[in-house]
Amino acid sequence: MTPTRRLLMIFFGLAALAFLQVAVPKIGTYVGVLLGLLALCTLADWWELRRAPNLQIKRSLQGVWPVDVWNEVTLTIHNPSQSKVRLDIIDAYPSAWQLEGLPHSSIVPANSFIAITYRVRPNNRGDAQFGLAFVRVRAYFQLWERQFRLGETQSVKVFPDFSKLLGNNLHATDKRSPSMGAIRKRRRGEGTDFRQLRDYRQGDSQRSIDWKATARYQKPISREYQEERDQQIIFLLDTGRRMLAQDGVTNHFDHALNAILTLSFIAQKQGDAVGLMTFGGDQRWLAPYKGRVGLDRILAGVYDLQATEVAPDYTLAASTLLHQLNKRAFVVLITNLRDEDDQAMRTACELLSTKHLVLCASLREKSLDAALSTPVQQHADALRYAASTLYLQQREHAIKRLGIRASQLIDILPERLSFSLVNRYLEIKESGAL
């Protein structure tokens, strides 16, 4: 229990009047009366707050939130007592989040309740917790106040904003119509997976004619194919220290997660199974599943995943994945290559390529390209330009030493990773390479 600002101001005001009674003696009588009234009011407020108010607080919020999106939280404050309660309230939200609408001052009528709604915006994925709300109650004359912790703790899961993710990354995946924002659809009559027999149509290739069926039905019959389904897409994600590199607001690791979720969404629409294995830091294995189940497993399995300071071991990761997979798969390895990685990465890719189709995606720092495009005006600019050029040359030489074909390796800026992976996947589906 603490005195309020009002009590302190009144007390110092009366103290100033007490000093004036030296010059004006008549003031002393009034000062004494006022001090007596202040003492009574102060005692009454203290007596009112000697017991904790019978308040109940309930917090209403969603259990799953998208990151970087404003979300509403409602606090309902019940007052079952016979007198109204004056209070200030602020919720114990995760301190790193942005907040609008708190603290809030209000009066809760007797035998009634009020609802307070505020907004918060989470800035990181993962698990977050709301604690007990801070409630400061003021007495009738507002000379004393007392602070309490009321309510209950609640946990929420902060996921990547999947709706924004798809809206930003699926617009250019259709090569035939980049501006339409549509996913490329399966074209009947093409692909490697047999679909059905049908009557021959003008323009069909002679290779598509089923001669046995033609002889049976005494008319030309064609085979119709579709892109092969029931395949496996496995993401091998580096969670080591290199993925902590950051260009702007989003780090490389979050860019990689966005690309994984985008491609998983498209793959499950194509009838393929998606799975994931992490290495270098937090090691997780999500077995491949088809349909929406596979996408939901990926989303639930990576929402709280963060890059760490651990160095990645590519050879160990490749060996572990080989023991996990029995069926041939399209393995997408996402990392950030360095010039010292040539031998380790080459060994890992050779191991995986013995059974699977491998694509290595290396994220290049955007700041390096920016340093090369910045005009050189001072000595520091020249040093930065020379260092960036040397680093990129060493990186390029290391990638060449890997001996991986250009179709199996991309060195790309993080924000273009989703687009590149989706297009490469669709090309593989149409070509039947998997």
pLDDT digits (tens, 9 = 90+) for 223-269: 766 555 678 999 999 998 888 888 777 889 999 999 999 999 999 88
Q: What is the CATH number of the domain that holds 303?
A: 3.40.50.410
Same domain, 219 and 233: no
pLDDT score, position 172 = 44
Report the Cα–Cα distance between both ends of the chain, in Å, rounded: 71
Query: For residue 231, what are its two tokens?
Result: 């395949």
Report pLDDT digits (tens) over 287-317.
Answer: 999 888 888 999 999 999 999 888 888 999 9
Buried b (16+ CB within 10 A) or exposed e, 405-424: eeeebbebbbbbbbbbbbeb
Pick from 12-21, 56-65, 231-240: least confident: 12-21
Nearest to 67 by CA among 108, 1, 12, 120: 120
333 CB-side CA count, 13 A: 28
Please give the residue that has the higher pLDDT: either 44 or 361: 361
Q: Which of 48, 64, 81 is the last residue of a domain?
A: 48
Tell me the residue ranges of DSSP E strands in 151-249. 154-159, 193-199, 221-226, 232-238, 246-247
Please give the residue that has the higher pLDDT: either 38 or 276: 276
For residues 21-43, average pLDDT: 73
Same domain, 66 and 201: no
* Percent helix, strand and coil across the chain, each to the nearest 5: 40, 30, 30
Supply the DSSP symbol for 378. Answer: S
d(CA 192, CA 432): 6
pLDDT score, position 276 = 95
pLDDT score, position 226 = 54
Query: For residue 66, what are its two tokens?
Result: 């998208």
Same domain, 41 and 179: no
> Of the segments 233-237, 278-282, 307-311, 373-377, which one has the largest average pLDDT value?
233-237
For residues 107-122, average pLDDT: 92
* Radius of gyration from C-alpha coordinates of the chain: 34
pLDDT score, position 183 = 45
Question: 364 by DSSP, 3-state: which?
Answer: coil
Please give the residue that has the higher pLDDT: either 313 or 337: 313
Distance of CA 209 to the CA centre of its chain: 50
Nearest to 125 by CA among 17, 271, 260, 14: 260
For residues 277-295, average pLDDT: 90
pLDDT band at 349 (very low <50, low <70, confident <90, very high): confident
d(CA 93, CA 102): 10
Same domain, 327 and 403: yes
Same domain, 349 and 395: yes
Model confidence at 215: pLDDT above 90:
no
Q: How far is CA 265 from CA 47, 286, 306, 387, in A?
A: 63, 16, 21, 40
Distance of CA 237 to the CA centre of its chain: 16
Model confidence at 49: pLDDT above 80:
no
Q: Are 300 and 153 contacting, i.e. CB atoms less than 8 angstroms apart? A: no
Q: How far is CA 98 from CA 60, 69, 121, 124, 161, in A?
A: 18, 10, 5, 11, 17
Same domain, 153 and 174: no
Report pLDDT digits (tens) over 408-433.
Answer: 788 888 888 988 899 889 888 877 77
Host H or E run for residue 359 = strand 357-363
Strand-strand pairing, 232-238 and 330-335: parallel
For residues 200-213, average pLDDT: 76
pLDDT score, position 174 = 45
Q: Are 5 and 88 contacting, i.e. CB atoms less than 8 angstroms apart? A: no
d(CA 238, CA 307): 8
pLDDT score, position 318 = 92
pLDDT score, position 22 = 63
Please give the residue that has the higher pLDDT: either 85 or 59: 59
Model confidence at 277: pLDDT above 90:
yes
For residues 390-400, average pLDDT: 76
pLDDT score, position 185 = 45
Supply the DSSP symbol for 265. Answer: H
Beta bridge partners of 136: 88, 147
Distance of CA 43 to the CA centre of its chain: 53
**Looking at this protein, which amino acid is placed at residue 19?**
F
Pick from 6-20, 182-196, 201-215, 295-309: least confident: 182-196
Model confidence at 189: pLDDT above 50:
no
Q: Could you give the angle at the alpha carbon of 149 between the alpha carbons of 145 and 150, nearest 5°?
A: 110
Pick from 116-125, 196-205, 224-233: least confident: 224-233
Which residue range is the domain that position 248 belongs to? 162-184+229-431
Same domain, 383 and 278: yes
Same domain, 174 and 222: no
Supply the DSSP symbol for 206. Answer: G
Same domain, 410 and 358: yes
Same domain, 382 and 393: yes
d(CA 145, CA 53): 12
Model confidence at 72: pLDDT above 90:
yes
46 Cβ partners below 8 Å, 6+ apart? 1, 139, 144
Query: For residue 150, what are its two tokens?
Result: 């009321």
**Looking at this protein, which amino acid is placed at residue 406?**
A
Tokens 């609640």 -> residue: 154
Q: How many domains in the chain?
A: 4
Question: 155 by DSSP, 3-state: which?
Answer: strand
Round the average pLDDT of the chain to a whole number and report it.
82
Q: What is the CATH number of the domain that holds 93?
A: 2.60.40.10
Same domain, 279 and 427: yes
Model confidence at 180: pLDDT above 80:
no
d(CA 314, CA 20): 84
d(CA 207, CA 220): 12
Same domain, 237 and 121: no
Q: What is the pTM of this model?
A: 0.72
DSSP, residue by residue, 32-78: HHHHHHHHHHHHHHHHHTSS----EEEEE--SEEETTS-EEEEEEEE
For residues 24-36, average pLDDT: 72
Model confidence at 32: pLDDT above 80:
no
